[in-house]
Amino acid sequence: MPHGIFQILSGPKGRVTIPALGAHIGTMQQWELRRRGGDDDPKSGSYDLRAVFSYINPHLFHDADYEKDVIVEFGRGRQHLQLRVHMVDAEETVLRDRTLLVRGVQISEYRDEAQVGRTAASL
Amino acid sequence: MSTATKPKLVELPPPSDEPAVVRARIRGRVYTFTELEIGEYDKLVVKATKREADPETGLEEDVIDNVLLMRLMIDKVVEPKPPQEVVHVGTRMYRAFSRIINDLHYGDEAVEILSDDDEGDDAPKETPAGNA
């Protein structure tokens, strides 16, 4: 888990889904997570997310009735990692055309069912 | 001479401006389905519309994702909400919801086409007093 290690992390793959509807509402073609402040800064541990989408459904993205899953990916093979971006307490969320800026997000490691299955099988 | 009455062309529901409502028992629970206002329906259509490139022309066009539209409609139309999120509803149950919602929103509303001579609801009603 790279939390607290990196200042900037970026990649080409990411997605936004609404799990309750089984709906894929966004495909990223580029994203960047930038850590905020220094280690002593109270904002340390939160990040700014910038993303450019090849596809985004702005109507569902802004629909407060549905919880979204924002997942970004980086690395390959054993280094492949997925991060969940938590936007719930974000200070600011701006989606303009296909460009997204979210200030003050939290991140955590994300494992889909296939990864969880592989991990369990290897134990 | 036949005493059989001439069948009506349509069975009209009683006059109402209220949305249509259907109640159904599915797997032991009673659900109420309420017809969406057209403005609300339009909003769901917009949410379920994607821009996709036509594979032949390469031009982008709006395409309605009907699966997503139905899931959004289930979420808005059905009360009480199913015990699980739409995506976890059983397939047969989901199809039962879809069948009712399709009929409720895309079925033909019964109408009576009036002739030029027919004054419709404005026609003077005969009353016992008027006939006296």
State the burial class of residue B109 (Cβ atoms within 10 Å of its Cβ: 0-12, 13-18, 19+): exposed
Nearest-CA distance B46 → chain A (Å): 7
> Please, which pLDDT band fits residue A13 given cuts at 50, 70 and 90?
very high
CB within 8 Å: B47 and A57: yes
Nearest-CA distance A62 → chain B (Å): 10
Q: Which chain B residues are closer than 8 Å to A21 by Cβ? A: 68, 71-72, 75, 85-87
Collapsing DSSP states into helix, strand and coil, what is residue B117? coil
CB within 8 Å: A23 and B68: yes
**Predicted local confidence at residue B51, as pLDDT:** 84
| Centroid of chain to Cα A90 | 12
Q: Which chain B residues are closer than 8 Å to A65 by Cβ? A: 75
d(CA B106, CA A13): 39
- Residues in CB range of B125: below 8 A, 6 or more apart: none
Greater pLDDT, B118 or A110: A110
**Predicted local confidence at residue A120, as pLDDT:** 59
CB within 8 Å: A22 and B87: yes
CB within 8 Å: B47 and A60: yes
pLDDT mean over B35-46: 96
The residue extents of the domains of chain A are 8-122
- Residues in CB range of A60: below 8 A, 6 or more apart: A18, A23, A25, A66, B47
What's at B120, amino acid-wise? G
- Residues in CB range of B106: below 8 A, 6 or more apart: none
d(CA B29, CA B101): 17
Q: Which residue of B lies nearest to A61 if distances are taken between CA atoms?
A: B47
ipTM of the complex: 0.76
What's at B30, amino acid-wise? V
**Predicted local confidence at residue B132, as pLDDT:** 42
DSSP label of B9? S
pLDDT mean over B99-104: 96
A73-121 tens-digit pLDDT? 988 888 888 999 999 889 999 999 999 999 999 999 988 766 666 655 6
- Phi/psi region, residue B14 (left: phi>0; alpha: psi -120 to 50; beta: rest), is beta
Percent of chain A with pLDDT over 70: 81
d(CA A29, CA A73): 11
pLDDT at A17 over 90: yes
Domain over A8-122 is classified CATH 2.30.110: yes
- Strand positions, DSSP E, B19-108: 21-26, 29-34, 49-53, 60-64, 78-79
pLDDT at B21 over 60: yes
CB within 8 Å: B87 and A55: no
**Predicted local confidence at residue A53, as pLDDT:** 97
Question: Is the separation of the CB atoms in B53 and B60 below 8 Å?
Answer: yes
Token pair belonging to B37: 């206002």
- Residues in CB range of A32: below 8 A, 6 or more apart: A8, A9, A10, A49, A50, A51
